[in-house]
Structure 1
Amino acid sequence: MKNTTLCYIEQDDSYLMLHRVKKHQDPNAGKWIGVGGKFEDGESPDECLVREVREETGLTLTHWRCRGIVTFVSDEWPTEYMHLFTADGFEGRLIDCNEGELAWIKKAQVPALNLWEGDRIFLELLAREEPFFLLKLSYQGDRLAGAVLNGQALEL
Protein backbone atom coordinates (compact mmCIF):
# COMPACT_ATOMS: atom_id res chain seq x y z
CA MET A 1 0.00 0.00 0.00
CA LYS A 2 1.10 3.52 -0.61
CA ASN A 3 0.02 6.86 0.85
CA THR A 4 -0.27 9.90 -1.37
CA THR A 5 -1.68 13.41 -1.41
CA LEU A 6 -3.62 15.17 -4.14
CA CYS A 7 -4.49 18.86 -4.08
CA TYR A 8 -6.77 21.04 -6.15
CA ILE A 9 -5.48 24.59 -5.79
CA GLU A 10 -8.24 27.15 -6.33
CA GLN A 11 -8.06 30.67 -7.75
CA ASP A 12 -10.65 32.76 -9.62
CA ASP A 13 -13.14 29.86 -9.90
CA SER A 14 -10.41 27.70 -11.46
CA TYR A 15 -8.32 24.71 -10.40
CA LEU A 16 -4.62 24.37 -11.06
CA MET A 17 -4.53 21.16 -13.08
CA LEU A 18 -1.59 19.02 -14.17
CA HIS A 19 -1.75 17.40 -17.62
CA ARG A 20 0.45 14.31 -17.17
CA VAL A 21 2.43 14.26 -20.40
CA LYS A 22 6.13 14.23 -19.41
CA LYS A 23 6.88 11.17 -17.26
CA HIS A 24 7.84 7.83 -18.78
CA GLN A 25 5.78 4.83 -17.63
CA ASP A 26 3.25 7.07 -15.89
CA PRO A 27 -0.01 5.33 -14.88
CA ASN A 28 -1.63 8.80 -15.21
CA ALA A 29 -0.25 9.43 -18.71
CA GLY A 30 -2.48 11.76 -20.71
CA LYS A 31 -4.82 12.42 -17.76
CA TRP A 32 -5.52 15.74 -16.05
CA ILE A 33 -5.17 15.60 -12.26
CA GLY A 34 -4.41 17.85 -9.31
CA VAL A 35 -0.90 18.08 -7.87
CA GLY A 36 0.61 15.88 -5.21
CA GLY A 37 2.55 12.70 -4.71
CA LYS A 38 3.87 9.99 -2.43
CA PHE A 39 4.65 10.39 1.26
CA GLU A 40 8.28 10.33 2.30
CA ASP A 41 9.24 8.43 5.44
CA GLY A 42 7.96 10.16 8.57
CA GLU A 43 5.81 12.74 6.76
CA SER A 44 2.31 13.65 7.83
CA PRO A 45 -0.34 14.21 5.12
CA ASP A 46 -0.02 18.01 5.35
CA GLU A 47 3.79 17.91 5.26
CA CYS A 48 3.65 15.74 2.13
CA LEU A 49 1.07 18.08 0.61
CA VAL A 50 3.13 21.23 1.14
CA ARG A 51 6.35 19.60 -0.10
CA GLU A 52 4.78 18.02 -3.20
CA VAL A 53 2.96 21.22 -4.20
CA ARG A 54 6.17 23.24 -3.82
CA GLU A 55 8.19 20.68 -5.84
CA GLU A 56 5.65 20.39 -8.66
CA THR A 57 4.44 23.99 -8.90
CA GLY A 58 6.88 26.31 -7.12
CA LEU A 59 3.99 27.53 -4.94
CA THR A 60 4.05 27.54 -1.15
CA LEU A 61 0.64 26.76 0.31
CA THR A 62 -0.61 29.05 3.08
CA HIS A 63 -4.20 27.75 3.48
CA TRP A 64 -5.63 24.31 2.75
CA ARG A 65 -8.30 21.85 3.86
CA CYS A 66 -8.27 18.06 3.96
CA ARG A 67 -11.47 17.07 2.18
CA GLY A 68 -11.38 13.28 2.28
CA ILE A 69 -9.52 10.04 1.88
CA VAL A 70 -9.83 8.12 -1.36
CA THR A 71 -8.84 4.45 -1.46
CA PHE A 72 -7.84 3.17 -4.89
CA VAL A 73 -8.01 -0.58 -5.45
CA SER A 74 -6.83 -1.97 -8.77
CA ASP A 75 -6.15 -5.26 -10.44
CA GLU A 76 -2.96 -3.70 -11.86
CA TRP A 77 -1.48 -1.44 -9.13
CA PRO A 78 -0.93 -1.62 -5.38
CA THR A 79 -3.69 -0.22 -3.18
CA GLU A 80 -3.32 3.52 -2.58
CA TYR A 81 -4.66 5.76 0.17
CA MET A 82 -4.91 9.27 -1.24
CA HIS A 83 -5.41 12.22 1.09
CA LEU A 84 -7.46 14.72 -0.89
CA PHE A 85 -7.02 18.46 -0.28
CA THR A 86 -8.17 21.78 -1.65
CA ALA A 87 -6.12 24.94 -1.16
CA ASP A 88 -7.03 28.57 -1.67
CA GLY A 89 -3.99 30.30 -0.19
CA PHE A 90 -0.51 30.25 -1.69
CA GLU A 91 2.56 32.36 -2.38
CA GLY A 92 5.09 32.29 -5.18
CA ARG A 93 5.08 31.86 -8.93
CA LEU A 94 4.48 28.79 -11.04
CA ILE A 95 7.49 26.86 -12.30
CA ASP A 96 7.78 24.25 -15.05
CA CYS A 97 6.74 20.84 -13.76
CA ASN A 98 8.80 17.79 -14.77
CA GLU A 99 5.68 15.58 -14.64
CA GLY A 100 3.46 17.51 -17.05
CA GLU A 101 1.97 20.85 -18.04
CA LEU A 102 0.31 23.03 -15.39
CA ALA A 103 -2.73 25.08 -16.36
CA TRP A 104 -5.47 27.04 -14.60
CA ILE A 105 -8.74 25.50 -15.77
CA LYS A 106 -12.17 26.97 -15.00
CA LYS A 107 -14.02 24.56 -12.71
CA ALA A 108 -16.94 24.39 -15.16
CA GLN A 109 -14.53 23.18 -17.89
CA VAL A 110 -12.80 20.49 -15.82
CA PRO A 111 -15.38 17.73 -16.59
CA ALA A 112 -14.57 18.04 -20.31
CA LEU A 113 -10.92 17.10 -19.67
CA ASN A 114 -9.45 13.60 -19.95
CA LEU A 115 -9.99 12.54 -16.31
CA TRP A 116 -10.08 9.24 -14.48
CA GLU A 117 -13.74 8.26 -14.03
CA GLY A 118 -13.33 8.08 -10.26
CA ASP A 119 -11.88 11.59 -10.19
CA ARG A 120 -15.18 12.83 -11.58
CA ILE A 121 -16.89 11.49 -8.46
CA PHE A 122 -14.66 13.24 -5.96
CA LEU A 123 -14.50 16.44 -8.00
CA GLU A 124 -18.31 16.55 -7.84
CA LEU A 125 -18.12 16.03 -4.06
CA LEU A 126 -15.68 18.94 -3.82
CA ALA A 127 -17.98 21.13 -5.94
CA ARG A 128 -20.92 20.32 -3.64
CA GLU A 129 -18.83 21.21 -0.57
CA GLU A 130 -19.44 17.70 0.77
CA PRO A 131 -18.12 17.38 4.33
CA PHE A 132 -15.09 15.16 4.90
CA PHE A 133 -15.70 11.88 3.06
CA LEU A 134 -14.31 8.40 2.56
CA LEU A 135 -14.43 7.16 -1.02
CA LYS A 136 -13.29 3.77 -2.30
CA LEU A 137 -12.72 3.44 -6.04
CA SER A 138 -12.12 0.02 -7.59
CA TYR A 139 -10.58 -0.25 -11.05
CA GLN A 140 -10.21 -3.10 -13.51
CA GLY A 141 -7.51 -1.82 -15.80
CA ASP A 142 -8.51 1.76 -16.66
CA ARG A 143 -12.22 1.06 -16.10
CA LEU A 144 -13.96 2.16 -12.90
CA ALA A 145 -15.62 -1.05 -11.65
CA GLY A 146 -17.01 0.15 -8.32
CA ALA A 147 -17.35 3.13 -5.99
CA VAL A 148 -18.33 3.27 -2.33
CA LEU A 149 -18.95 6.62 -0.60
CA ASN A 150 -19.02 6.62 3.20
CA GLY A 151 -19.91 2.92 3.22
CA GLN A 152 -22.66 3.14 0.59
CA ALA A 153 -22.18 1.71 -2.91
CA LEU A 154 -22.67 4.26 -5.68
CA GLU A 155 -24.43 3.50 -8.92
CA LEU A 156 -22.01 3.87 -11.82
Structure 2
Amino acid sequence: MGQRDAIVAVLRRGDRVLVIERGPEARRSGYWAPLSGKVEPGESQEEALVREVGEEVGLTVSPLAKVWESETDDRRFRLHWWTADVEEGEVVMQPGEVSDARWVTVAEFLALEPTFAEDREFFERVLPGIPGIPEV
Protein backbone atom coordinates (compact mmCIF):
# COMPACT_ATOMS: atom_id res chain seq x y z
CA MET A 1 0.00 0.00 0.00
CA GLY A 2 1.56 3.28 -1.08
CA GLN A 3 1.46 6.57 0.71
CA ARG A 4 -1.79 8.48 0.55
CA ASP A 5 -1.76 12.17 -0.27
CA ALA A 6 -3.23 14.63 2.21
CA ILE A 7 -3.41 18.41 2.39
CA VAL A 8 -2.64 20.72 5.29
CA ALA A 9 -4.42 24.08 5.25
CA VAL A 10 -2.35 27.08 6.35
CA LEU A 11 -5.16 29.57 6.92
CA ARG A 12 -4.05 33.01 8.02
CA ARG A 13 -5.63 36.10 9.45
CA GLY A 14 -2.95 38.69 10.05
CA ASP A 15 -0.15 37.02 12.02
CA ARG A 16 -2.37 34.16 13.16
CA VAL A 17 -2.96 30.69 11.73
CA LEU A 18 -6.07 28.56 12.30
CA VAL A 19 -5.39 25.37 14.25
CA ILE A 20 -7.87 22.82 15.51
CA GLU A 21 -8.01 20.36 18.36
CA ARG A 22 -8.84 17.04 16.72
CA GLY A 23 -12.19 15.69 17.81
CA PRO A 24 -13.11 12.29 19.27
CA GLU A 25 -13.81 10.74 15.83
CA ALA A 26 -10.58 12.03 14.23
CA ARG A 27 -7.29 10.15 13.95
CA ARG A 28 -4.98 11.22 16.80
CA SER A 29 -7.82 12.77 18.75
CA GLY A 30 -6.80 15.57 21.11
CA TYR A 31 -3.82 16.78 19.08
CA TRP A 32 -3.59 20.43 18.09
CA ALA A 33 -2.76 20.84 14.41
CA PRO A 34 -3.53 22.88 11.32
CA LEU A 35 -6.56 21.59 9.48
CA SER A 36 -5.80 18.63 7.23
CA GLY A 37 -7.50 15.92 5.22
CA LYS A 38 -7.07 13.21 2.61
CA VAL A 39 -7.00 13.96 -1.11
CA GLU A 40 -9.76 11.81 -2.63
CA PRO A 41 -9.24 9.90 -5.92
CA GLY A 42 -9.60 12.22 -8.91
CA GLU A 43 -9.38 15.32 -6.73
CA SER A 44 -6.65 17.95 -6.99
CA GLN A 45 -4.85 19.18 -3.89
CA GLU A 46 -6.56 22.54 -4.28
CA GLU A 47 -10.00 20.90 -4.48
CA ALA A 48 -9.25 18.80 -1.40
CA LEU A 49 -8.19 21.92 0.49
CA VAL A 50 -11.40 23.79 -0.30
CA ARG A 51 -13.57 20.75 0.52
CA GLU A 52 -11.86 19.80 3.79
CA VAL A 53 -11.90 23.36 5.15
CA GLY A 54 -15.58 23.72 4.25
CA GLU A 55 -16.48 20.39 5.86
CA GLU A 56 -14.47 20.78 9.05
CA VAL A 57 -14.78 24.47 9.94
CA GLY A 58 -17.32 25.89 7.49
CA LEU A 59 -15.00 28.51 5.99
CA THR A 60 -14.66 29.35 2.30
CA VAL A 61 -11.05 29.50 1.09
CA SER A 62 -9.11 30.19 -2.10
CA PRO A 63 -5.88 28.16 -2.41
CA LEU A 64 -2.78 30.30 -2.95
CA ALA A 65 0.40 28.21 -3.05
CA LYS A 66 1.90 24.95 -1.93
CA VAL A 67 4.60 25.94 0.55
CA TRP A 68 5.96 22.71 2.04
CA GLU A 69 5.82 18.94 1.95
CA SER A 70 6.29 16.48 4.80
CA GLU A 71 5.09 13.06 5.86
CA THR A 72 3.24 11.84 8.91
CA ASP A 73 5.30 10.17 11.60
CA ASP A 74 3.83 6.77 10.67
CA ARG A 75 4.66 7.47 6.99
CA ARG A 76 1.08 6.69 5.95
CA PHE A 77 0.48 10.13 4.46
CA ARG A 78 2.47 12.57 2.37
CA LEU A 79 1.35 16.03 3.48
CA HIS A 80 1.08 18.89 1.00
CA TRP A 81 0.99 22.19 2.88
CA TRP A 82 -1.02 24.97 1.17
CA THR A 83 -1.62 28.57 2.06
CA ALA A 84 -5.07 29.92 1.28
CA ASP A 85 -7.03 33.14 1.49
CA VAL A 86 -9.93 32.88 3.92
CA GLU A 87 -13.17 34.75 3.28
CA GLU A 88 -14.76 36.54 6.20
CA GLY A 89 -16.91 34.34 8.34
CA GLU A 90 -17.06 32.49 11.60
CA VAL A 91 -15.62 29.05 12.24
CA VAL A 92 -18.37 26.42 12.42
CA MET A 93 -16.81 23.26 13.84
CA GLN A 94 -17.85 19.83 12.59
CA PRO A 95 -18.86 17.78 15.64
CA GLY A 96 -16.76 14.68 16.10
CA GLU A 97 -13.94 15.90 13.87
CA VAL A 98 -13.11 19.18 15.61
CA SER A 99 -13.23 19.80 19.38
CA ASP A 100 -11.86 23.34 19.37
CA ALA A 101 -10.43 25.88 16.93
CA ARG A 102 -8.16 28.85 17.58
CA TRP A 103 -6.35 31.49 15.55
CA VAL A 104 -2.83 31.38 17.01
CA THR A 105 0.54 33.05 16.60
CA VAL A 106 3.66 30.92 16.12
CA ALA A 107 4.53 31.30 19.81
CA GLU A 108 1.01 30.33 20.89
CA PHE A 109 1.07 27.24 18.69
CA LEU A 110 4.42 26.13 20.09
CA ALA A 111 2.96 26.37 23.61
CA LEU A 112 0.06 24.00 22.80
CA GLU A 113 0.20 20.33 23.80
CA PRO A 114 0.11 17.81 22.29
CA THR A 115 1.33 18.67 18.78
CA PHE A 116 3.09 16.75 16.00
CA ALA A 117 6.82 17.15 15.39
CA GLU A 118 6.35 18.01 11.71
CA ASP A 119 3.82 20.72 12.62
CA ARG A 120 6.26 22.25 15.11
CA GLU A 121 8.96 22.20 12.44
CA PHE A 122 6.61 23.98 10.03
CA PHE A 123 5.71 26.71 12.52
CA GLU A 124 9.34 27.21 13.63
CA ARG A 125 11.18 26.93 10.33
CA VAL A 126 8.87 27.25 7.31
CA LEU A 127 6.08 29.62 8.30
CA PRO A 128 8.32 32.62 9.12
CA GLY A 129 9.77 32.50 5.58
CA ILE A 130 6.44 32.58 3.79
CA PRO A 131 5.65 36.00 2.27
CA GLY A 132 2.95 37.91 4.06
CA ILE A 133 3.64 36.34 7.46
CA PRO A 134 4.74 39.01 9.92
CA GLU A 135 7.82 38.23 12.01
CA VAL A 136 7.13 36.84 15.47
After TM superposition, the score normalised by the length of structure 2 is 0.80
Shift of 1:118: 2.2
Q: Following superposition of structure 1 onto structure 2, how do residues 45-56 of structure 1 map, counting pairs within 5 Å?
A: 45-56=45-56
% of aligned pairs identical?
A: 30
**SS of alignment partner, residue 86 of structure 2:** strand
Q: Following superposition of structure 1 onto structure 2, how do residues 122-133 of structure 1 map, counting pairs within 5 Å?
A: 122-129=122-129
Whose strand fraction is larger, Structure 1's or Structure 2's?
A: 1
CA RMSD of the aligned region, Å?
2.1
Hey, what does 1:152 align to over in structure 2? none
Hey, what does 2:17 align to over in structure 1? 15
Structure 2: gaps (5+ residues): 132-136
C-alpha separation between the residues in 2 aligned to 1:108 and 1:87?
21
Whose helix fraction is larger, Structure 1's or Structure 2's?
A: 2
Hey, what does 2:87 align to over in structure 1? 90
C-alpha separation between the residues in 2 aligned to 1:4 and 1:71?
9
Structure 1: gaps (5+ residues): 132-156
Instruction: Return the index of the structure with the highest Cα Rg.
Output: 1
C-alpha separation between the residues in 2 aligned to 1:130 and 1:94?
24
CA separation of 1:14 and 1:92: change in aligned 2, threshold 3 A: same
Please identify runs of 4+ aligned residues in structure 1 that moved more than 6 A.
Answer: none
**SS of alignment partner, residue 34 of structure 1:** strand
Hey, what does 1:134 align to over in structure 2? none
**SS of alignment partner, residue 120 of structure 1:** helix
Equivalenced residues, count: 126
